[in-house]
Chain A
Amino acid sequence: MPHRIEITLKDEVRDPRGERIKREIEHFLHLEVAEVRTIDVYTVDAPLSAEELAQVAAGPFSDPVIQNYSIDKPAAAGFDYLVEVGFRPGVTDNVGRTAGEAIGYLLGRPLAAGEGVYTSVQYLITGKLSQADAEKIATGLLCNTLIQRYQILDAATFKAQGGVAPFVPKVQVEAKAEVNTINLEISDEELMRISRDGVLALTLDEMKIIQAHYRDPKVVETRKSLGLGAAPTDVELEALAQTWSEHCKHKIFSADVTYDDGQGNTEKINSLFKSYIQKTTADVRAAQGDKDYCLSVFKDNAGVIKFNDDWSLVFKVETHNSPSALDPYGGALTGIVGVNRDPFGTGKGAKLIFNTDVFCFADPFYEKELPKRLLHPRRIYEGVVEGVEHGGNKSGIPTVNGSLVFDERFAGKPLVFCGTAGLMPATIKGEPSHQKKIIPGDLIVMTGGRIGKDGIHGATFSSEELNENSPVSAVQIGDPITQKRMFDFLIRARDKALYRFITDNGAGGLSSSIGEMSEECGGCQLDLSKAPLKYPGLAPWEILISEAQERMSLAVPPEKIDEFMEMAKRYGVEATVLGTFTDSGIFHMLYGDKTVAYLPLSFMHAGLPPMQIPARWEKPVHEEPKLAPSADYTGDVKALLSSLNICSKESVVRRYDHEVQGGSVVKPFTGVDNDGPSDAAVVRPILDSFEGVVVGHGICPRYSDIDAYDMAANAIDEGLRNYVAVGGSLDLVAGLDNFCWCDPVLSERTPDGPYKMAQLVRANKALYDYCTVFSMPLISGKDSMKNDFYDGTTKISIPPTLLFSVIGKMEDARLAVTMDVKRAGDQVYLLGATANELGASEYLAQKGFVGNNVPKVDAQAALAGYRAYGAALKAGLVASCHDLSDGGLAVAAAESAFAGGFGMELDLAQVPFKGDAAEKSDIALLFSESASRLLVTVRAEKAAEFEKAMAGTPCARIGAVTAEPVLKVKGLSGSVVVNAQNAELKAAWQEPLKDL
């Protein structure tokens, strides 16, 4: 009989959680409630005595200073409606797990298999509400019905039935470890039905390739000798579907593309990845010669570059879009703890030194009708922000840099980019730590969490568009503490060289990790029945592809296994030997004695011919707005500062620990009141050294509405310019590309595939064109190609988006520069030329236009400017520097001024302009988003030296910092066109998201 322990706050203690829910009910659901109080419920499914229950309730479960507990007796009282929300069976319940462990310490023995603790929360709502209102609160705010269950009781019913009955959300499955075979000697329609019904995401061509493989007489013969039938087992089919999924195989990036540039030229591109991304790095490295600092690129879970002689720097950025659309909290949490495993699973393992996050959402205040199944953007915003908060903070990794980007189309799918950098010793026991190998005979070991049904079909599901039937099981909830424990152990095992190879279990689970590891040595033999399970009853194929979190796969030499296992035990980490790496050429899965999958690696990893994808570029033409000149743009500047893309994100950023590990040098916020927005982050990962790691990023999806080539060019330039602004060195800098696209493959559902594919081609061309000039190798990246929502009637495709992250070094972090103006009398310079480039700008968006003049990046000019600026910074000539991006000069000047607490007087006539003089206007000078520009302030006595340093680049003194805290801009006519107090500008900038 399960027991319910309910924990209430004492009457006089405030309930911040309840207060927040009350505010959200009023704010978002527009319902009046008088009060919300909350109760924590632990349902203990273990035979504890009354005395033990009391000890547990009084001890670890409640805080005697502020809480009361009640055992098997309802504590709730004085409410109109009660909503209790708990997890559905099988969903990760971290608090429940910790509660179970706590009982174990108390009893002196761990809970037995099948015993457990399950948590839920009761919300006691007081107010004049109807049952329907309560229902709305439950489903619209408190409960994500995909992963949680709820019940609503009014006070009378609650009383009548004597409280809430205990409910144990235990996974109840018939134990059925059976293996089925799938007959593929069927019609094409039947083949596709199998793919669709099984969420395999295999195309007909792919199904037929599999069919052909099983028809091969040699294959038939081998299978016969092993006692396997002619038809594939479900384990084999699932392994192939996972290995060949877009998510894991990147079929679009390796496809053969026929690109028609719209001007009569056709180009054949064999693999965008090889032709542009890999080639960028190869060409940059060749040109750098012996100055090459790349150590491991594209072949491991993350990229590795040299930091100094003793340390190497590791970086990876991932996306977790589809899961975040379904369960924003769990999806985003899993996104961040998932990407943590990438640098940790690179080379022999890296210590994690910081996270970066970029989120793309629709307007959280969106008021229009949304297609069914889509969560409101506000819930996505709340959930994602909180998921990444918990994932990052609890892992003890500072979140140092990020962005929030808004566009209505992200209602179809939010983008959740999570990045993590790590630091590894250059060598461990004399061997380079960025390299690893497997020797046949090494043992296959899995460490960390157990396997459940969570995350089954994550890899294949994210390879399809989101639709009404997207599987619930594809969602996982991460557990940062289990992972942290595992990392604490593994990093010590690494330093003792107890393993030879490590990789992460992410998308595709064991199928992916062991499949890829097998390629290193030429085969594997693994017994799926040895894998530790969360609960019994998983089929072998489920064990193979489950994406249950917090697991690493390792190759441990047999002579080290005892020490490895003993150490794991001591650190409280589960480690299991699952099999042996071989050189048989076969991916060989057993379940006990029985072979359940026997796949030649050559077929698994090379059996798939490239896709053929057409691409046809057609330059879109948008209405070109005629903007009437105005005598005063102060209102426009304030409106821009209040736009979602530009406004302060402080309410989110302060929820992320950006200083843990003690190396913070340039923080997300800076200036006299610690609230000005930094361009990039500087971190000292080694506390007794002043060498800094610098990280920044660029992202401008809206530019894709005009040309994805320029979207990519501007993202790259923005990333580099943010990096350079704070002091990042151009001599040790690397890029990382994350493509998030809408499906670009021509099909019935995607008739505009060729256009979207052409956008992808163009973005890749820009990547090559700019990174080679900037001498910036690409070290890693990721693509997510199916960011569409389609429910049969409504299709929402995201704007093609490249997140370009930049990481590198500054030799002396004490030279870092921040964006806040420092003192009155300093001279203000604008670096880089401005053009009439309002196309797809924030300014035109506010006026309801897209326009056509998207900013063009002049790579050579940009580089010359950045080099000169870098030298000036090193010489100590720069007081402040802020990058110009969304909102142009006007926004950058306002931000620098109010961050520094001084005013600024600028003269637009002094701004370096490129292009036809007839196009020069106050609007263009104030709001154009022309690339490669920096707003710099310099001490008056250093002005001459600074000008000398910048000689030969478009750089002009455009004004001065003033004591009076006012932004005053003189227009081309000589009259003042912007005039506002810092305080009002700052208020406009801080207002929109301050209460979220």
Chain B
Amino acid sequence: MTKAKALVITGNGTNCETEAAHACKLGGFDEARIAHIAELLTGEVSLDDYHFLNLTGGFLDGDDLGSAKAQANRLRYAAVEGKEERLVDQITRFIADGKLILGVCNGFQLLVKMGMLPALSGNYLKQTVTLTYNASGRFQDRWCYLKVDPASPSLYTRGIEGGVYLPVRHGEGKFLVDDAKTLEAIEAKHLSCLKYSDKNYAAPTMEFPENPNGSVNAIAGVCDETGRIMGLMPHPEAFVHRTQHPRWTREELPEEGEGLIFFKNAAKYVKENF
């Protein structure tokens, strides 16, 4: 069987690489490599050798020009040493090869700002949506209930019943679109796979703090039409064991955290398809 290999990119302000790699291993990946962006730019590490790319949380370049903007610019223009290609070429090839990308928080912001989500009609380099300052104007660390759209093509959310409970930790998580058509297309194609909701996962909500940032249509996560590329503001890698739950000392919880399913689904997909 194929060795399922996950890559977690770090450097320039990425912060969640350790727990993301840990979640990949727990989820069933045979290898979870943390690579510094410098190792990709020098060609020491090549995306081609991996199946699952994790763009995880942090503050790329301090989010100085707006979240993940500077890194989106870097990936677009920076060339890989000794090769006739830019990093962005490796990424589009990775997508074309049918491989998987999960962007969490700052990674989601990066995917969106590079245009890789929602990538309507397969256009992976045109930005149509954004993630910007929370309606409260403040960074928020709090746990949120996320209703899952069972009709979504996302392979990561398969098998989730109702929804998942995960932490958000961001200052720029408000999801906005360039125009009504984009939003319509996202909804029609069920790409908005996760929405902030009440605790029974009954309905999406625009109420603070259940919806911590004021995202349009309460959108917390989106995927592309293939379901292989997904981004979300909440942190699935931050809930892989019950002791990470804010109320684990008072509730009967299974050993495994609800965020692990994202990584299990990814590993399963890789093992079945490569």
Contacts and interface: CB of A to CB of B under 8 A. Distances in A.
Interface of A: 13-14, 16-17, 19-20, 59-61, 63-66, 94-95, 97-99, 101-102, 105-106, 108, 389, 393-396, 479-481, 484-485, 488, 492, 570-572, 654-667, 669-672, 674, 684, 687-688, 690, 813-814, 816-818, 820, 822, 900
B250 A818 contact: yes
Task: Bin chain B's interface residue count.
Answer: 35 or more
A711 to B, nearest CB: 32
A98 B18 contact: no
B246 interface: yes
24 contacts: A16-B134, A60-B65, A60-B73, A63-B130, A63-B132, A65-B177, A98-B64, A106-B77, A393-B139, A481-B59, A485-B13, A571-B36, A654-B141, A657-B141, A660-B16, A660-B169, A661-B19, A662-B18, A664-B244, A665-B243, A672-B250, A688-B22, A816-B243, A900-B250
A763 B23 CA distance: 47
A395 B57 CA distance: 11
Nearest to A482: B62
A20 B171 CA distance: 14
Contacts of B23: 662
Contact of A488 (B36, B73, B74, B78): B36
A975 to B, nearest CB: 33
B211 to A, nearest CB: 14
B140 interface: yes
Interface of B: 10-16, 18-19, 22-23, 36, 38, 42, 57-59, 61-66, 69-70, 72-74, 76-78, 113, 127-130, 132-143, 167, 169, 171, 176-178, 214, 235, 237-238, 240, 243-244, 246-247, 249-250
A16 B133 contact: yes
Contacts of B38: 570-572
Contacts of A684: 243
B69 A60 contact: yes
Given A485-B11, A662-B22, A671-B247, A98 B61 contact: yes
A98 B16 contact: no
A818 B73 contact: no
A211 to B, nearest CB: 48
Given A99-B65, A657-B169, A662 B19 contact: yes
Nearest to B11: A488
Given A108-B77, A667-B246, A816-B249, A662 B16 contact: yes
Nearest to A815: B249
Closest 8 CB pairs of A and B: A396-B15, A662-B19, A98-B64, A16-B137, A65-B130, A60-B73, A481-B62, A394-B59
Contacts of B214: 14
A20 B134 CA distance: 12
Contact of A396 (B16, B113, B171): B16
B250 A822 contact: yes
A411 to B, nearest CB: 25
A674 B250 contact: no
A13 B73 contact: no
A896 B24 CA distance: 37
Contacts of B141: 654-659
- Which of A66, A816, A820 has the largest number of chain B CB atoms within 10 A? A66
B246 A657 contact: no
A389 B38 CA distance: 27
Given A98-B61, A674-B143, 8 more contacts: A13-B132, A63-B132, A64-B127, A64-B178, A65-B128, A65-B177, A393-B139, A665-B244
Contact of A65 (B63, B65, B78, B178): B178
Nearest to A18: B137
B237 A662 contact: yes
Nearest to B115: A64
Contacts of B140: 654-655
Nearest to B62: A481
A63 B66 contact: yes
Contacts of B177: 65
Contact of B136 (A16, A480, A481, A665): A16
Contact of B139 (A66, A389, A672, A820): A389
Nearest to B58: A396
Nearest to B249: A818
Contacts of A571: 11, 36, 38
A490 B250 CA distance: 41
A817 B249 contact: yes
Nearest to B240: A662
B214 to A, nearest CB: 8
B64 A95 contact: yes
A105 B77 contact: yes
A659 B168 CA distance: 10
A684 B76 CA distance: 37
Contact of B135 (A16, A97, A488, A690): A16
A552 to B, nearest CB: 18
A558 B250 CA distance: 57
Contacts of A60: 65, 69-70, 72-73
A662 B64 contact: no
Which of A108, A660, A820 has the most chain B CB within a 10 Å cutoff? A660
Contacts of A816: 243, 249
Contacts of A657: 139, 141, 169
A106 B73 contact: yes
Given A63-B132, A488-B36, A660-B169, A94 B19 contact: no
A66 B127 contact: no
Contacts of B73: 59-60, 102, 105-106
A665 B242 CA distance: 9
Contacts of B16: 396, 660-662
Contacts of B42: 570
A592 B77 CA distance: 39
A352 to B, nearest CB: 11
Contacts of A492: 36
A659 B244 contact: yes
Contacts of A393: 59, 139, 169, 171
A396 B57 CA distance: 9
B13 A670 contact: no
A659 B244 CA distance: 9
A61 B65 contact: yes
A529 B14 CA distance: 34
A63 B115 CA distance: 11
Choose among A389, A654, A666 the residue with the greatest number of B CB atoms under 10 Å from its CB: A654
Contacts of B36: 488, 492, 571
A66 to B, nearest CB: 6
A655 B167 contact: no
Given A102-B73, A656-B141, A659-B238, A66 B64 contact: no
A661 B57 CA distance: 10
A415 B30 CA distance: 49
Contacts of B128: 65
B156 to A, nearest CB: 18
A684 B18 CA distance: 13
Nearest to B133: A16
